[in-house]
Amino acid sequence: MTQTPTYRDFDLNFQIHPVRKDINILTDADSVVAAVRNLVLTNKFEVPFNPNEGSNLRKMLFENWSPAIDAIIAQLIAEVIQIYEPRVTLTEVDVTFDEDSAGYFIAIKFFINTIPNKQFQGSFFLDKAR
């Protein structure tokens, strides 16, 4: 009998658990989805001793919008996930520019390697005032 790994991480929203009065713990799929989101939002040189980890998406916020910029953002996200997140298999990155808010809605779809029959999605809005 093979045991699937259990992933655990603390919730970076720092919400307090109502009973334990401690920071919430994310487990399994929730932990991996949060890790993908954090990895994508990390800039290069933010991780000590690993200056190349991160996607540097914030630099793209100051470029004039074009469909090519959407493709570059999607490629940056795909590259950082493929290099630094071996627990997932990326299936799709959808980048949509919102002209009113001058930001990007980003949806990332992937499979967690230990849960191959269910697709997960992480989504967030990226703007200059993050």
User: Which of 2-6, 59-63, 94-98, 123-127 comes out lowest in average pLDDT?
Assistant: 2-6
Residue 117, domain member (yes or no): yes
**117 vs 3, residue with greater confidence:** 117
How far, in whole angstroms, is CA 99 from its chain's centroid?
22
Nearest alpha carbon to residue 11 among 28, 29, 23: 23
CA of 66: how far to CAs of 59, 70, 100, in Å? Answer: 15, 7, 15
Mean predicted confidence (pLDDT) in 14-35: 84
Residue 71, domain member (yes or no): yes
The DSSP bridge partners found for residue 9 are: 26
Domain boundaries, position 45: 8-126
Domains in the chain: how many in total?
1
Mean predicted confidence (pLDDT) in 39-51: 91
CATH number for position 54: 3.10.450.40
At residue 2, the pLDDT reads: 57
Residue 38, domain member (yes or no): yes
Mean predicted confidence (pLDDT) in 33-60: 90
Residue 2, domain member (yes or no): no
Q: How confident is the model at residue 3 (pLDDT cuts 50, 70, 90)?
A: low
Helices and strands (H and E) in the chain: how many: 2, 5
Mean predicted confidence (pLDDT) in 115-119: 90
For residue range 52-79, list pLDDT tens digits in order.
998 888 888 888 888 999 999 999 999 9
Coil, helix or strand for 40? helix
Residue 3, domain member (yes or no): no
From CA 82, how far away is CA 113, in angstroms rounded? 13
For residue range 78-102, list pLDDT tens digits in order.
999 999 999 999 999 999 999 888 8
Reply yes or no on whether the pLDDT at 37 is more than 60.
yes
Nearest alpha carbon to residue 122 among 61, 27, 34: 34
> Which residue's structure tokens are 């989805």?
33
Residue 111, domain member (yes or no): yes
Average pLDDT, whole number, for the chain? 88
